[in-house]
Amino acid sequence: MSETAYVQVLDLACGALLLTAVLVLWRRELTVIIRVFAVQGMALAMVVGVLAAHQRDIELGGVAVGVMVLRAVALPWLLRRALVAAGPAQSETRPLVNVAASLLAAAVLVLLAYAVSRPLVALAPSPATHAIPVGVAVVLIGFFVLVTRRHALSQIVGFLLLDNGITAVGFLTTIGVGLVVEVGVSLDVLLAVLVLQVLTSRMRAAFGATDLDELRELHD
């Protein structure tokens, strides 16, 4: 792959990563949000795949396939299953912040991401590290989704956006952390989502809804 093609594909994939994160803020239907999330998983796998092709790293190529399976197939499938179990009445989210304000917030968060990532890019400037701010922006947007959405499943999506962003930053630094850690991290994320999914069904059994507004048993 030529250098220009590499940079273009990498930037395209990172652009898709950021765009999908913003789309999650924009749309309200959980079915659409889950589909967007799956697309983001694919974009992330593409980032890893491009890096693997550029570095001619077979192992990283394998990791890209793993990322694809976990984030574009397995996790969206789990979310969709939870959504089906929740029933049709549960498919609307009611964000605390309206769409226009959310999109403005996303713009501010992207600026913030570029501001805080300056030392990260400066350490080893390269096409890959120049995209680190995108990963950080996805982290911040994920955090924003997490704190402004009230539906349990939306919160899980927020958590997963955050995690996608962190994974993107990890790969864009182009420094591996070792296979044991990578597998361990993926397994932990998968298990955390499984636990959250079980908890949403228990929440439905206990509260009759998975709207987090219903959670008001515990306070001081």
Partner 1 sequence: MTVLTTLLMLAPLAVPLLGALTYRTAGWRPATVWVSAVSAALVLAAAIALAVTVVGHGPRTALAGSVRADALSVFMLIVIGAVGLLATAATPAWLRGEITAGRATARTAARHSVLVQCFLAAMALAVLAANLGVVWVAIEATTIVTAFLVGQRRTKAAVEAAWKYVVICSTGIALALLGVLLLNYAASHGPRPAGLDWVRLLAAAPHLDPGVTRVAVALLILGFGTKAGLAPLHAWLPDAHGEAPAPVSALMSGVLLSVAFSVILRVKVIADAALGVGFARALLAVLAVASLLLAASLLIRQRDYKRMLAYSSIEHMGLLALGAAAGGPLALAAVLLHVLGHGLAKGTLFLSAGHVLHATRTSRIDQVRWLAARGPVLAGCLGFGVLALIGLPPFSIFASEVGIVRAGFATGIGWVTALALVFVLVIAAALIGHTSRMVLGTPDPVPDGPGAATAPVRLSISGAVPLVAGLLACAVLGVAAGPLATLLHLAAHTLTGTP
Binding site for partner 1 (CB under 8 A): 116, 118-120, 122-124, 139, 143, 146, 152, 155, 159, 162-163, 166, 169-170, 173, 175, 177-178, 180-181, 184-185, 187-188, 191-192, 195-196, 198-199, 202-203, 205-207, 212, 215, 217-218, 220
* Contacts of the segment 90-93: beta carbons below 8 A, 24+ positions apart: 90/30, 90/151, 90/153, 90/209, 90/210, 91/29, 91/30, 91/31, 92/28, 92/29, 92/30, 92/151, 93/28, 93/30, 93/33, 93/149, 93/150, 93/151, 93/154
Nearest one of 25, 28, 59, 65 to 44, comparing CA atoms: 65
Token readout for 153 is 């499943």
The least CB distance from residue 199 to partner 1, in Å, is 5
| DSSP secondary structure string for all residues of 104-133 | HHHHHHHHHHHHHTHHHHHHS-SHHHHTHH
Instruction: Please identify, using beta-carbon distances, which residue of 96 and 124 lies nearer to partner 1.
Output: 124
The least CB distance from residue 50 to partner 1, in Å, is 19
The least CB distance from residue 4 to partner 1, in Å, is 25
Instruction: Please identify, using beta-carbon distances, which residue of 19 and 115 lies nearer to partner 1.
Output: 115
The least CB distance from residue 70 to partner 1, in Å, is 15
Instruction: Please identify, using beta-carbon distances, which residue of 4 and 208 lies nearer to partner 1.
Output: 208
Instruction: Please identify, using beta-carbon distances, which residue of 96 and 198 lies nearer to partner 1.
Output: 198
Q: Which residues contact 33 (CB under 8 A, 6 or more apart)?
A: 24, 27, 93, 154, 157
- How many Cβ atoms sit within 10 Å of the Cβ of residue 85? 13
Instruction: Please identify, using beta-carbon distances, which residue of 88 and 178 lies nearer to partner 1.
Output: 178
Instruction: Please identify, using beta-carbon distances, which residue of 100 and 175 lies nearer to partner 1.
Output: 175
